Amino acid sequence: MRGRALAACLALLGLWAGLAHGREPPPVRGWLTQVDGVRVLYAWGTPRDRGFAHGVLLRDAIIEVVDQYAVARIGAGPYGVARALVGGTATVSPALRAEAEGLVAGLREAGGAQIPRLGRALDATDVLVLQAYTELAAVGCSSVSVWGAHSADGQARLVRNLDWSDAPALLRNQVVFVWAGEGMAQPLVSVGFAGYLGCLSCVSAAGTGAFFNMGYGQGAARPWGLLKGFTPANLLLREALAQGDVDGDGDVDREDVAAALAAARHAGSYIVHAVDARGALVVEVEADGHAVRTAADEPGGPPQALVATNHLRKKTAPTACRRDRLARQTLAQGALGADAQWRLGERLALHSVVHSLQYTPAAQRLQVRLRPAGGAPGDGPVATLPLGTLWNWVRAQGKAP
C-alpha cells in the first residue's frame, strides 16, 4: 500500500506541476508497489514511456544512486573519461536510448535531474554510463544451477548471489522491475536498482533467466578496452531476453542468450549463467571471444549441474577458487533440493552481497532476498515474487495488478 500511495502522490505532483505551467503532463505508464516488502515497478508502453515512468516514480532513488554511489565510486575525474568512452564507443539500440531519454524526462517532470557531485543535471549519456558500470569496475558474483538427476525434484533451479557493494545508497534503492510493451516480444522481470535499465538478474515470461557475473580474465576492469567499441553487457542481456528467439530456431531458451553474446562486441571480462526449464549453460565472455561451457565440459563433475563464480574455466585454463571448490564438493554429495541449494548459495555469498535469489523456471517461482542498508549478508526476509501473477498483469495490457 505504501508503494501505491507513493506512486499516486508523485503522479499528483507531476499533474500539479504541469497545470502550473499551463500544460497537461504526459501520462505515467507505470505503477509502483510492494510485494512481500520488496519494491516493484511496473512499466509499459513505448520505450520512452517505460523510461518516463521509471524516472517519475523513482526520481529521488535514482538521484541518490547516481550521486552517492556511481559518481562517488568512480570519482569526478575518471567519471568524465568514462562518459567520453561510453558516449563515443558504446553500441546501444535506439529503443534503449529512448528509454534513457525518457528516464531523464521523468526526473525533470518529478522535480529535476540535478546531480550535486556533477554540478549539473543528468542527461541520457549519464544514464548509459551507469549501465556500463560493470565494464568499468570489478565486482563479484556466484551462481549454481542443477537440473534432472542432480535436482532432488527433477526441476531445473538456479541460486545466485550478486556480490557488489555494501554501500547504503545502493542497498537502499534496490528495485524489482517488470517491463513490458512495444518492442518486447518477451516481458521481463529484473532484480536491480533505481536507474538501472540493464539485466543483472533477469527472467523472461518464456522462462529463460540470465544472471551476470564479473569475470577475472585478462580483460577485467580495463577501461581502455572500451575504445574498440562494445555493447554494454547488461543492456545486451536485456535485449536478448526481450527478443526471445534470438537464434531463430523456433524455441525461446538458454541457447538464445548464448547466441546474443556470440554476435556482439564486448569489453572487459564477464560470465553469464543462463537457465531454462530444461537445463543451464555458462558463457565466458571477453573482448577477444567467448566460450560456452556446459556440464559435458567438466569430466568427473556432476552431469546435470553447473557452477559459476568469477573465474573463467573453459575459455582460459581454470583458476583455483574457494567458492567454486566449495560448490563442487557439495554437488559431489548428491542431488540438491531447493532448501539445500539455497543454503549452498548462502555459503558462497561474499561480504559485498547485494541480493541473493533462487529461480525455478517450470514453477514460475522467483525468491529474492534484498540485503537492507546497514545490514549484514543474510539479513532481510526472503520474498517470493509470484511470476504467474506478474505475467497475467502483462497479459492485461498495462492494467494495474
Digit-coded pLDDT (tens) for 319-334: 778 999 999 999 999 9
**Cα separations in angstroms, 384 against 38, 51, 76, 366:** 9, 26, 39, 6
Checking if the pLDDT of 44 tops 80, the result is yes
pLDDT bracket for residue 373 (50, 70, 90): very high
The predicted structure's pLDDT at residue 183: 93
The predicted structure's pLDDT at residue 170: 95
Checking if the pLDDT of 301 tops 90, the result is no
Q: Could you give the percent of the chain with pLDDT greater than 70? A: 90
Quick: pLDDT tens for 186-231: 999 999 999 999 999 999 999 999 999 988 765 544 555 666 778 8
Grid cell locating 315 = 575459455
Q: Is 287 helix (H, G, I), strand (E, B) or coil?
A: coil
Checking if the pLDDT of 97 tops 90, the result is yes
Lowest mean pLDDT among 218-232, 276-290, 362-376: 218-232
| Helix 94-110 / helix 233-243 crossing angle, nearest 10 deg | 110
CA 4, CA 130: separation in Å to the nearest integer? 27
The predicted structure's pLDDT at residue 9: 52
The predicted structure's pLDDT at residue 397: 62
- Once rounded to an integer, what is the mean pLDDT over residues 61-75? 94
CA 62, CA 83: separation in Å to the nearest integer? 18
Lowest mean pLDDT among 119-123, 258-262, 264-268: 264-268
What average pLDDT is seen over the chain? 89
Lowest mean pLDDT among 240-244, 248-252, 298-302, 367-371: 298-302
Checking if the pLDDT of 161 tops 70, the result is yes
The predicted structure's pLDDT at residue 25: 83
The predicted structure's pLDDT at residue 316: 87
pLDDT bracket for residue 86 (50, 70, 90): confident
pTM for the full model?
0.91
The predicted structure's pLDDT at residue 225: 62
The predicted structure's pLDDT at residue 284: 95
Q: For the sheet containing 269-276, what is the strand order?
A: 30-35, 38-43, 174-179, 188-193, 201-204, 209-214, 269-276, 279-286, 289-293
Quick: pLDDT tens for 376-391: 999 999 999 989 988 9
Q: Is 32 helix (H, G, I), strand (E, B) or coil?
A: strand
pLDDT bracket for residue 287 (50, 70, 90): confident
- Once rounded to an integer, what is the mean pLDDT over residues 165-173? 95
Question: How much is the CA Rg of the chain, to the nearest whole Å?
Answer: 20
The predicted structure's pLDDT at residue 79: 86
The predicted structure's pLDDT at residue 5: 47
- Once rounded to an integer, what is the mean pLDDT over residues 347-353? 95
CA 208, CA 299: separation in Å to the nearest integer? 26
The predicted structure's pLDDT at residue 42: 95
Give the CA angle between residues 173, 51, 132 to the nearest 5°. 65
